[in-house]
């Protein structure tokens, strides 16, 4: 299937989710379960997408693990988004160099 069909479907779906409640459906969501569910979706999908996928994103599981560990530690200490990401990349780079040396 053409890549552009995927992109079109992805863009239209995302747009409709944002557009319809702003124009047509303007009823408030009353269900406490549904609202809690929606509040938990971002953390759930980010966690599911990151782990264990990050372990296979690099050339070796070990360097992926190093990148993840550094990211978690720095994020725990409240470092900014860019710092966390940059240091995570650096950890992967350094550990891959070390692995090739060994």
Partner 1 sequence: MNRREYSAGVRDSLPVGIGYFSVSFGFGALAVSYGLRVVDATLISLTNLTSAGQFAGLTVIAAGASLWEMILTQLVINSRYALMSLALSQKAGSRVGTLPRLFIAFFNTDEIFALAMARTQPLTTSYLMGLGLTPILGWTGGTLTGALASSVLPLSVRTALSVALYGMFVAIVVPQARKEKPLLAVTLLAAALSCLFTWAPVLNAVSSGLAIVLCTVLAAGVCALLFPLPEEEAHPQADTSRPGQRAGHTREAAV
Distance, CA of 89 to CA of 54 (rounded, Å): 11
In the range 65-94, which residues lie near partner 1 by CB under 8 A?
Answer: 67-68, 71-72, 74-76, 78-82, 84-90, 92-93
Question: Closest Cα partner for 63 from 98, 100, 92, 84?
Answer: 92
CB of 99 to partner 1, least distance (A): 11
Give how many residues touch partner 1 by CB under 8 A: 75
Q: Is the Cβ–Cβ distance between 65 and 88 less than 8 Å?
A: no
Does position 28 bind partner 1 by CB under 8 A? yes
Does position 98 bind partner 1 by CB under 8 A? no
């Amino acid at each position: 299937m053409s890549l552009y069909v995927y992109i079109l479907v992805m863009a239209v779906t995302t747009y409709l989710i944002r557009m319809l409640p702003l124009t047509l459906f303007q009823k408030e969501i009353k269900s406490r379960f549904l609202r809690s569910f929606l509040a938990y979706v971002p953390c759930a999908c980010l966690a599911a997408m990151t782990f264990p996928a990050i372990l296979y994103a690099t050339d070796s599981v070990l360097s992926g693990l190093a990148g993840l560990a550094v990211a978690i530690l720095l994020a725990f200490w409240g470092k900014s988004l860019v710092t966390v990401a940059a240091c995570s990349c650096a950890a992967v780079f350094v550990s891959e160099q070390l692995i090739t040396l060994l």
